[in-house]
Chain A
Amino acid sequence: MLRYLASRAGQALVVLWITYTIVFVLIQTLPSDPVTIFLASDAGADQELIDRVSALYGYDRPWFEQYALQLGNLLRGEFGFSLSTGQSVLERIGSVVGSTLALASTGLLLSVLIAIAISAVAFLVDSPRLRAIIVAAPSLFSSIPVFWLGIVVLQVFSFQLRILSLFPDGSLLSLLIPALVLAIPVSAPIAQVLLTGVEQASELAFVKTARAKGARPMRVFWHHVFRSSLGATTAVIGTTLGVLIAGSVITETVFARPGLGSVLLRAVIAQDVPLVQGLVFLTTLVVVVAALVVDLITPLLDPRVLRSVGTRGVSRLGA
């Protein structure tokens, strides 16, 4: 187990290093450096100012020095500094990240609940026609434009029903409704895995036995079907984090919530490349750590996983 742990952590570090390199290469392909791009839109910026700021950020050095310098900063936990405000990336999002985390975690929780509900209904329903409709729901959910769903929901709940304020007022409803919008597309891949689990489990001997013994269908679902697809479900939740981040940013914009989204979008509009770059690294770190955690707990949830793959790794980053 310890060897397995160490090898997975090592793989995660390699992944982080390569992501850093990919982003670094992308920046090197720019026709000029980030400081020039940022200040170019500013009429008052002269060459001297550009040179001074470039020197401050290290963009005047040869590429290999920049590569080592920025990598060293990342290893010390420094994700860079915003060109607009001079604040570090962590300072910049520190005051608003709580709001994003609340939205994203509520959204993730709701998406798991939706996925469980879909698969439970698919397991319990007897009519094949009804089941076909339920089974098609996830691919419909993943095709819904989140920004549009948010607008429609806002229209219904704020303008028609008048039960949701147009701007977040701190009420539970102003968290739950955006979280529900976010949860719809996120639930799709989770539901797909659970539905596959339902399909396979119905053929498994222990499920047939439980059914034959006359166990209540809901009990069979929880104790046998759901449990046996718990490992795969955890794995797919790790891979949906990218969708969750994207969905959170868009949902925040639609519902005018402060958070990572407003900071990120303002940075993109201002072409504040170092800040956006820092946020890319930060979200990648979250995804990689989540995948690592998933890989470590999957064998605990489903011992069959570790037995079948040995120490080679359960899934390549949850994929």
Chain B
Amino acid sequence: MRVPRGVGELPLPGPATALSALLVLVLVAWLAVPGLFTGYDPLVGDSAEVFLAPSVAHPFGTDHLGRDVLARVIHGTTQTALTAGLAVLVGLALGTAIGLASSTLGPWADAISMRVIDALIALPAFMVALFVVAAYGAGPVSLGVGVGIGSIVLFARVTRAEVLRVRALDYVEASKLAGAGYFRQLFGHILPGASGALIALAVVDFGAAVLAVSALGYLGFGTPPPTPEWGLIIAEGRNYLANAWWMTSLPGTFVLLVVVALGVLGRYLGKATRA
């Protein structure tokens, strides 16, 4: 029996989706083998090459220490992507748990979960992230967890809605009548059926997490310098606005493109799973 609306059957992507997928693939490559894409050291600069404007040798220019800004962005992918990935994992794990509890454990669990979801909606996500950083100290782990708490609500609501939809499908009803237990139904039928929507949401949420992580990194709550991280790279250029516009503008444009690409890709996957 075929799992309906899985990610197995995607419609033909448009040019925007194809470009977005390409950018995400580049990111994955940068994450895996950053050294392959740049010959420059992200930490040690050349003092003879400070504040060089963008050129063929340095597409994003160089910074106040003579470091290649593109090299820092490429190597910075690791910090930013892993922290954002942690945030998505936290949101996905806790959100799916709340969503499953509310939709499969009966009316009481549903009522309590919905109240918790209401409360999580009311808590400003940014404030919660800062609260976690204040309590546990700055660093990528507390940053990832703090940002992730903000996306629990999204995953919980989508899980709940998807489970209610999938559970009403004939083959799930049939397996129930055939005597499948709670966990067999859950892991064998309901979760696979809901996975398409959750994957699409995770992609969009990853983009939002990149935005939040780099904002908090900009404020200085992520990894300490000189480790490259996208928000931190932009923050370092702040003091040189007058003479080195490329230090902030180019990494920032890049972050913007990444977030847009993840949004386009996530919406494409979402449409594909709803089609």
The chain B residue sitting closest to A166, CB to CB, is B241
In the complex, whether A134 has a CB less than 8 A from a CB of chain B is no
* In-complex Cβ contact of B124 among A139, A158, A265, A283 (8 A): A283
In the complex, whether B115 has a CB less than 8 A from a CB of chain A is yes
A146 touches B215 (CB 8 A): yes
A143 touches B207 (CB 8 A): yes
Interface size class of A (residues with CB under 8 A): 35 or more
Mask, B239-257, CB within 8 Å of A = 1, is 0011001001100100110
The chain A residue sitting closest to B119, CB to CB, is A18
The chain A residue sitting closest to B207, CB to CB, is A143
Which of A118-126, A274-282, A297-305 lines the interface with chain B?
A: A274-282
The chain B residue sitting closest to A41, CB to CB, is B137
Interface majority SS on B: helix, strand, loop or mixed? helix
In the complex, whether A316 has a CB less than 8 A from a CB of chain B is yes
A124 CB → nearest B CB, Å? 25
Mask, A302-319, CB within 8 Å of B = 1, is 000000000000001101
In the complex, whether A284 has a CB less than 8 A from a CB of chain B is yes
A276 touches B134 (CB 8 A): yes
Which of A172-180, A217-225, A245-253 lines the interface with chain B?
A: A245-253
In the complex, whether B23 has a CB less than 8 A from a CB of chain A is no
Q: What are the residues of chain B within 8 A of A149 when measuring CB–CB?
A: 252
Q: What are the residues of chain B within 8 A of A273 when measuring CB–CB?
A: 131, 134-135
The chain B residue sitting closest to A275, CB to CB, is B134
A268 touches B134 (CB 8 A): yes
In the complex, whether B259 has a CB less than 8 A from a CB of chain A is yes
A162 CB → nearest B CB, Å? 11
Known: A155-B245, A246-B124, A276-B131. A143 touches B118 (CB 8 A): no
Interface majority SS on A: helix, strand, loop or mixed? helix
In the complex, whether B182 has a CB less than 8 A from a CB of chain A is no
A319 touches B121 (CB 8 A): yes
A246 CB → nearest B CB, Å? 3
Q: What are the residues of chain A within 8 A of B207 when measuring CB–CB?
A: 143
B153 CB → nearest A CB, Å? 8
In the complex, whether B219 has a CB less than 8 A from a CB of chain A is yes
Number of residues from B at the complex interface, CB < 8 A: 47
In the complex, whether A148 has a CB less than 8 A from a CB of chain B is yes
B124 touches A147 (CB 8 A): no
B255 touches A151 (CB 8 A): no
In the complex, whether A264 has a CB less than 8 A from a CB of chain B is yes
The complex places the Cα of A151 from the Cα of B241 at a distance, in Å, of: 8
Interface centre among B126, B220, B260 (most CB of A within 10 A): B126
B234 touches A271 (CB 8 A): no
In the complex, whether B273 has a CB less than 8 A from a CB of chain A is no
Known: A14-B115, A319-B121. A148 touches B252 (CB 8 A): yes
Q: What are the residues of chain B within 8 A of A271 when measuring CB–CB?
A: 134-135, 137
A140 touches B115 (CB 8 A): no
The complex places the Cα of A159 from the Cα of B114 at a distance, in Å, of: 50
A317 touches B135 (CB 8 A): no
A144 CB → nearest B CB, Å? 6
- Could you tell me which residues of chain B, from 25 to 66, have a CB within 8 Å of some CB in chain A? none
In the complex, whether B136 has a CB less than 8 A from a CB of chain A is yes
Q: What are the residues of chain A within 8 A of B115 when measuring CB–CB?
A: 14-15, 18
Sample of 14 A–B contacts (CB below 8 Å): A14-B115, A37-B137, A140-B260, A145-B259, A147-B214, A148-B255, A151-B248, A246-B125, A249-B126, A265-B130, A268-B134, A272-B134, A276-B135, A317-B118
7 smallest beta-carbon distances between A and B, as pairs: A246-B126, A148-B252, A18-B119, A242-B124, A143-B259, A276-B134, A268-B134
Q: A242-B127, A280-B131, A284-B127 are in contact. List 15 more A-B contacts (CB 8 A).
A: A15-B118, A18-B115, A19-B122, A21-B119, A22-B119, A144-B256, A145-B214, A145-B259, A147-B219, A149-B252, A152-B248, A155-B241, A239-B121, A253-B219, A283-B124
